[in-house]
Structure 1
Amino acid sequence: MPTTLRTYKYRLYPTRPQEAALFETLRLTRQLYNAALEQRIAAYRKQGKTITGYDQQRELIALKQECPEFRGVYSHVLQEPLERLEKAFKAFFSRLKRGDKAGFPRFKSAQRWAGGPTNLMRKRPR
């Protein structure tokens, strides 16, 4: 007998302070993704060294100590953009290996960040 998977979609109706906190978390995760991408590019250009996602995740403790705005974001939430960047690099190198058009990982603007402000700015009931 085939297994049926059910999917549930929950709508969020955050208050204004909650919405501001969500936007701030999105901004910080996008900033972290872009900084991690910049760090990888700079390390390879200057030293010919590759940095892995695991190396960057180990630096999150120091980041939270140095930058107070990141202290309010849970560690698992901060690990997700680094995992997303690692996945983008793995896909890039696998496409290179196959000889396909590679498509190097891009820096992300607010509009290109998944789940960004455009999805949250829809009109909602008050």
Structure 2
Amino acid sequence: MLKAYKYRIYPTKEQEEYFAKVFGCVRFIYNKMLHDKIEYYKKTGEMLNNTPAQYKKEYPFLKEVDSLALANAQLNLEKAYKNFFRDKKIGFPKFKKKKGYQSYTTNNQNGTVTLEGSYLKVPKLKTKIKIKQHRQFEGRIKSVTISKTPTGKYYASILVEEEIKELPKID
């Protein structure tokens, strides 16, 4: 069973700069891919299958951030695009804005995301982030979503795969 735990994190200035860079790149790749899909659809009437890797030559700054964050942005766009074509009432995918709530999701691959004591380790970030872990969890970390609220607070939402405990039979 998948369960998410949300914790407040306290990044340093360098970590905040890295997060701002990742938020910007994720927003950029989402908007660029959406724009290209719209243009391709106008020309051909078909759906374009594009990936973040196609843009890394043209935009080298995309190599500085976690590739899984960019891949998750692509998956979010694909899901929004398919949902629109499945049911028009949902509405067409919207371009991401810089203002307001910002976030990115990265997956745990072979221990790239770990929680050690009161510190969280995420890919491409050399230092560990201070975290206020008010609840313990059991299980394996699947992914982590780093988010920033409009008020400037940072949070980490950790998705954990837990074992389902069977309840005892009652006669």
TM-score bracket, normalised by the shorter chain, equals 0.7 to 0.9
Tell me the equivalent position of 1:104: 92
Alpha-carbon spacing, 1:120–1:64, altered in 2? closer, same or farther (3 Å): farther
TM-score normalized with structure 2 length: 0.56
- Does residue 79 of the first structure (1) align with residue 71 of the second (2)? yes
- The separation in 2 between residues aligned to 1:112 and 1:43, in whole angstroms, is 30
Alpha-carbon spacing, 1:110–1:88, altered in 2? closer, same or farther (3 Å): same
Shift of 1:82: 0.9
- The separation in 1 between residues aligned to 2:94 and 2:101, in whole angstroms, is 11
Tell me the equivalent position of 1:14: 11
Please state which structure has a larger fraction of its residues in strand. Answer: 2
Please list the CA deviations of residues 55-76 of structure 1 after superposition, one character each: whole Å capped at 9, or x if unmatched.
Answer: 312xx33422332211111221
Alpha-carbon spacing, 1:106–1:8, altered in 2? closer, same or farther (3 Å): closer
Amino acid at match of 2:6: K
Amino acid at match of 1:108: K
SS at match of 2:99: coil
Amino acid at match of 1:71: K
Shift of 1:6: 6.0
Higher normalized contact order (CA 8 Å, seq sep 6+, divided by chain length) = 2
**Number of aligned positions between the proteins:** 111
Identity %: 34
Please state which structure has a larger fraction of its residues in helix. Answer: 1
TM-score normalized with structure 1 length: 0.74
Contact 1:30-1:113 within 8 A present in 2 as well? no
Structure 1 unpaired stretches of 5+? none
Alpha-carbon spacing, 1:13–1:120, altered in 2? closer, same or farther (3 Å): farther
Structure 2 unpaired stretches of 5+? 104-146, 155-171
- The separation in 2 between residues aligned to 1:119 and 1:46, in whole angstroms, is 38
- What value does the CA root-mean-square deviation take over the aligned residues? 2.5
